[in-house]
Chains A and B, each alone.
Chain A
Amino acid sequence: MQTDFDLTIEAGKSSRQYWKDLWRYRELFYFLAWRDVLVRYKQTVIGFAWALIRPLLTMLVFTLVFGHLAKLPSENSPYPILVFAALLPWQFFANAFTEAGNSLISDASLISKVYFPRLIVPTSAVIVSFVDFLISGIILAGLMIWYGFYPSWRICTLPLFILMAFAVAMGAGLWISALNVKYRDFRYIIPFMVQLGLYISPVGFSSSIVPDAWRLLYSVNPMVGVIDGFRWAILGGNSQLYWPGLLLSLGLVISILVSGIYFFRSTERRFADLI
């Protein structure tokens, strides 16, 4: 019988086959993400409305605390929109990071009983968070209409920053998911990192309040570049792009993604034995 599938299994030699398999199992990305979305809202009363309510409430709190109580500058745009333009990528990153981090553990039965490229599992978790991101995007559009705030040409560059957010979420997600399989301590580290990240990223405030001398250092956090990019693209007008910081963030994002894939691939073959 002639067959297209000719495979040699040997210790440490799976890479050539791997990318072919990833393509062959491409529909699994969709199916796992579909499962997670379906399951998440299955036994809830208001279902998909949760995807809208969570970011909306966060936005309200941030606007109140930072805009009205702390009276931080809003770069001449409505504070809710300033907050939401940052909340959008941040929530996406935080969800993707958390979900991806736990994805391999919660799919342990799959991993120990059936073969498919493991890269699909955390990637699907990131895709699910991306769906939430798109839903939140609708809120932003609604807010902008409400305030009569119209974006400039810069909105066309938004896909580039979305791509950047996706890359950093993906890279960090791969790192944390692989580490979590080996060291379950990361279960406890993940929520802590997310919480801390919210405060060191310019979500509730504009990064223009960071002193100029510290700005480059501040951009070591790759989410700074992503969030500033989002604000620049969405708010238009007065918000300025800090180029050295953005480039530094971009470089870091790419290195996180590449090293994440590399690390994941090198630990992946032992997942079934460890999990």
Chain B
Amino acid sequence: MAPVISAQNLGKKYILNHQSQERYTALRDVLTNSAKHCARKLRHPFAPSESDPSHEVFWALKELSFDIQQGDRVGIIGRNGAGKSTLLKILSRITEPTTGKVRIQGRVASLLEVGTGFHPELTGRENIFLNGAVLGMSKIEIKKKFDDIVAFAEIEKFLDTPVKRYSSGMYVRLAFAVAAQLESEILIVDEVLAVGDAQFQKKCLGKMEQVGQDGRTVIFVSHNMAAISNLCQKGIALQAGSLLFQGSASEAILKYYQSTGDADDSTNNHSGKNESDTAKLLSTEIVGVRSALEINIHNDFIIRMKYEIKRLVEGRCVPNFHFFAPDGSYAFATNAEGVSTMPPGIYFAECKIPGDMLNEGTYFIGVALTNYHDNHFTVEFFDRNALTLNVIDPMDEHSNRYGYAGPMPGVLRPKFSWNIGRAK
């Protein structure tokens, strides 16, 4: 089937003007610059026209090609300045690409900013109509959806209050409610949900998920990786305006973290050392989960390594696993228990990680074999990025969230037994 969005060789060039403070051109500058240019031409008529040092060409996107299939929920990730917003602007036709082309099949609704076109002096009711029209809805369509919008935004009581008196939460709710009712085949959402309260964030994410299940395509930009991995199955990672990776959301998140990790190499010193004279890492896997990279926060899972001991050595070769948070910080390390000296051969080691211990988000698992002898230890191998997994919180009744949908702090989120009673 043909993709709903097909981008080929997209590029967007901006010319940065170092001279002026303002983003716009003043006529004065144009006049003086062309006068200068003329004067130079008069004095040196045959000199090649020199490039102006105050102008710098900047490619926000370059040679970007990708396809998005119908019904996909695609997360676009990348660092600040990677070109995410520019890409969204091109897809929503706000700006034109400098090179390349995009073919889009379907009506596009984009929510790049909360409450675009809202006028503070107008009431909620008036703004629903105005915003709906700005987003491309007809008056009849808005009338038909009016009650749904009001119900979704939970602003019945304030319908006839000017939106300048709204709290920022109400503002966001109303804005998202209008956009969510737009019957488009493709929904583009920039990181706009950060403004609303957590409960509403969840509602919005739920709505977007539902949109995706209706066979509509969702493109979502966020810095919140937990939101991306919860909401999207596909991911596009951008780096400096180019495509870093396209595939599953989990892998895209992994690639994104790996690319940011490369920037500071200090934590990566053991990476790639899979073999020593004594031992060799053969394989690693996560057992007992349907998709190797996604794990329900409540479920146990088993990580397994297969390794070979090549020769008889003194001391005990102890397998161990290291868990890292995406920023490179250590979550914890765990050593195998009850290891004795092993004769050469191929072994496996499994470790069961209980559910409700890791927090949601991405983890990198390092796999190592350490030889302990005479109160010393030697690292036989240590593959720091052997495995990656995304822990996903289904936000059900076991999550102890009580309706809160935002990020939970900490690298770990263990579930302990609690006892609460009336003290007196």
A residues with CB within 8 A of B: 1, 3, 5-12, 14, 24-25, 27-28, 30-32, 34-35, 38-39, 42-43, 109-116, 181-186, 269-270, 272-275
Contacts and interface: CB of A to CB of B under 8 A. Distances in A.
A114 B136 CA distance: 10
A1 B106 contact: yes
Contacts of A12: 96
B95 A113 contact: no
B103 A115 contact: no
Contact of A114 (B96, B116, B126, B185): B116
A34 B30 CA distance: 37
Nearest to B133: A31
B139 interface: yes
Instruction: Kindly name the residue among A25, A35, A111, A184 whose own CB sees the greatest number of chain B CB atoms within 10 A.
Output: A35
Interface residues of B, number: 49
Contacts of A273: 14, 95
Given A1-B106, A6-B105, A184 B94 contact: no
A43 B26 contact: no
A275 to B, nearest CB: 7
Contact of B106 (A3, A25, A272): A3
A115 B30 contact: no
Interface string B77-115: 000000000000111111111111111111110101100
B26 A115 contact: no
Given A113-B116, A114-B110, A183 B24 contact: yes
Interface string B1-38: 00000000000001000000011111110100000000
A27 B92 contact: no
Nearest to A179: B27
Given A27-B138, A35-B122, A3 B185 contact: yes
Given A1-B106, A3-B106, A11-B97, A35 B130 contact: yes
Interface string B117-148: 10101100010011001111011000000000
Contacts of B100: 10-11
Nearest to B139: A27
Given A113-B94, A116-B136, 18 more contacts: A5-B105, A6-B103, A6-B105, A7-B103, A8-B102, A9-B103, A31-B129, A32-B133, A38-B122, A109-B116, A110-B117, A110-B134, A112-B94, A114-B94, A183-B25, A274-B24, A274-B25, A275-B23
A194 B146 CA distance: 42
A273 B105 CA distance: 25
A182 B24 contact: yes
A43 B122 CA distance: 11
Given A115-B92, A184-B24, A3 B107 contact: yes
A5 B107 contact: yes
B25 A1 contact: no
